[in-house]
Amino acid sequence: METVAKACSSANNYMYRILPLETEYSKKLFLSRAFGSIDAPYPVELEEAMQTILKKCGGLPLAIVGLGSLLASYNSKEDKDMWDTICRSIGSQMDNNPTLEGMREIVTLSYNHLPYHLKFCIMYLSIFPEDYIIGTDRLLNRWIAEGLVEERRGLTLMEVAKIYLDELISRSMIDPVSYSKHDGRVETCRVHDMMLEVMVSKSLEANFVSLVGGQYGGMSYDRPRRLSIHGGKENMAVRLGRRDGIKHIDVQHARSLSMFGLKWHSLLDRLGDFRLLRVLDMENCTGLENRHMKDICQMYLLRYLNLSGTNISKMPEKVGELEHLEVLDANDTNLTCLPSSVTKLVRLQRIIFTNKHDWTHWWLPSGDLSRMKALVEVKRLGIENIVAAEALGELEQLRAACIYIDSDEDTVNKLALSLRKIYSLRSLDMKRGGDHKSSKTLNFLHKLDSSPPRLLQFLKLQGTLSELPNWVGSLTHLVEVDISRAVMDDENEQLFGMLSEAPNLRSIILQLNFYSKRELVARTVHKFSALKKLVVSLYCEFPEVFTVEEGSMRNLEVLTLEFGGRESARFWGSKHLESMKELHFYAQSCPRAETIVRQVVQHRAAQDRSVLPALIRLQFHDCFVRGCDGSILIDSAGGNVAEKEADPNLTLRMLDVIDD
């Protein structure tokens, strides 16, 4: 690393050497991992072993976090022997070379102490390229399809897989990257480079994974079990380390095939040789063509098929013969429809279908949807007749549904009856065609009042709706609501009145044409005890004014107001939002506003350190009179004396920074 730094610097004194953590901070970091808090009490019997471990870690955060997470399950005085064993296991490498071999030793030690089932799951991540951001749904579904998740009484395989993921995250072996905005679960993750290096070594040693291309271009394999093809800068066919190419490699016993960052690969022409595949992951493989689908439809043991981001535009009817298929991901492709034979896939649990160019394409099942009783998630399902609407009610395991309906009233009434039967539903995204003048509305949702989906966590409604259904306020698990194009009358201010009754609602998103009144008001009685995030669109005709009264939304932390350049739009009541941490005014009209402000302030502060306290004082004086409204920036005009020229404000500085 120092060699690279020297090459990038004109002189040695331009290099910044990152110092290891001091003993005090090393201990705090270790305690936070091993005992849950930097101030947590711990048995005195473990003190000596702890000091030895911290000394061997040499102030390196990754080593401290790794060992702390490893010992988190052994934090009583009876576990002293385990702590001593860990101390001895670290060995001398960490003392001699604390930045390389020693770190590998720490990571290997963490791996060696994993439960048997988690070792395979963490090794499985060696399939993905370095620094690759992994969708957790993609990872968990692949674990399940590969048979790496054990059955547990009372839990689904997906629930068990989530437990595995949480444990690996708690041990700091997987790093979370992003979280779901409505339920807080990890949406994407990655593996630290050092962890990946060790996992690749373990996987290759056990013939668990075979890696080809990129930095693994010289590797060769006889009978790969899990084949992962990594793209290089050339984006051309990659050989498996032999002069005669890939055609002599035996792929008949491969269980999974994954391709990353490839426009084309000669292996695509050998898909017909992969007869025993359980997992085929072609995400963003633009070299996949319609002609390859014939071979894919003959992989009769396939459980997981990911075509997301590819350019395929036709799917053969023979896809219905993949009787073991559990996940079909056709997200962001050129497909305009799915074949009717898809309804024959009785084991299918997740089906995702979207077109990358036209959102109006929906999957309109022409077969018997009721046969697909294993379905847990369906995205972009179009309901166009009573038969399909009625069949939906027989999918008792359905947890997430994105539904489009553009049918007559008999069909939507039948759909309402079906939704009342799906007790397991956690996420509902409902859209109905037609504008606000059309008779096609979402008002049929009021028919769910007597038996709504009680476990619903996420609700998204797109379409005309006179007022929010009363049952929404009774949903104790609801954490996010997203409403657009509803053009609500809201005569009795029922919108916020109903939403404020949902006890765990954390996020509200009110988008394009959601309202038909001039003013939207959060009254004092609308407490919203759990609400953290609110997005309100003000760039359409209505609402024109958004007001928050004192006592409402006290726990709100993030408020986004989308004005879209509309000068008549107004917001009142920011001073009542006691917990607010972020206020975004320009998310649509000027998305770089905050970046621009930050750059200007940083530039000026580098020249004059007094800029920052002067700006803080400027804000204080502005907020002191009738709230934080920017009135301190207004100049005097026409005989009216501006606020900035009042005696207490004459010493204010850095107004020119605002002008910049």
Q: How many helices (H) and strands (E) does the chain have?
A: 18, 22
20 pLDDT more than 80: no
Per-residue pLDDT at 404: 94
596 pLDDT more than 70: yes
- Residue 399 in contact with residue 426, Cβ under 8 Å? yes
Q: Name the more confident of 656 and 199.
A: 199
Q: How many CB atoms lie within 10 A of CB 85?
A: 13
Q: Is 535 labeled as ligand-binding?
A: no
Q: Is 625 labeled as ligand-binding?
A: yes
Token pair listed for 625:
């009179």
626 pLDDT more than 80: no
Q: Is 318 helix (H, G, I), strand (E, B) or coil?
A: helix
Q: Which of 570, 560, 499 is nearest to 533 (CA)?
A: 560
Q: Please give the Cα distance from 207 to 120 (Å, whole number).
A: 12
| Banded model confidence at residue 7, pLDDT cuts 50, 70, 90 | low
Mean pLDDT for the chain overall: 85
Q: Is 631 labeled as ligand-binding?
A: yes
Q: Is 608 labeled as ligand-binding?
A: no
Helix or strand (DSSP H, E) at 245: none
β-pairing, 186-190 vs 134-135, is: antiparallel
Lowest-confidence region among 281-290, 473-482, 526-535, 588-597: 588-597
Q: Please give the Cα distance from 387 to 371 (Å, whole number).
A: 13
247 pLDDT more than 70: no
Alpha-helix residue ranges (DSSP H) falling in 113-260:
116-123, 136-145, 157-170, 193-205
Instruction: Fill in the DSSP letter of residue 346.
Output: T
DSSP 145-182: HTT-S---TTS-HHHHHHHHHHHHHHTTSSEEEEE-TT
Catalytic site positions: 621
Q: What is the pLDDT of residues 100-127, one digit of tens each?
A: 566 677 788 888 888 999 999 999 999 9
Please enumerate in sequence order all residues whose Cβ is within 8 A of that of 105, keeping only pairs 6 or more positions apart, or say none: 90, 91, 93, 94
Q: What is the pLDDT of residues 339-370, one digit of tens each?
A: 999 999 999 999 999 999 988 888 888 888 99
Q: Which of 147, 137, 135, 348 is nearest to 255 (CA)?
A: 147
Per-residue pLDDT at 591: 62
Sheet holding 519-522, edge to edge: 519-522, 545-548, 570-572
Going 618 to 623 to 628 to 632, the CA torsion angle's sign is negative
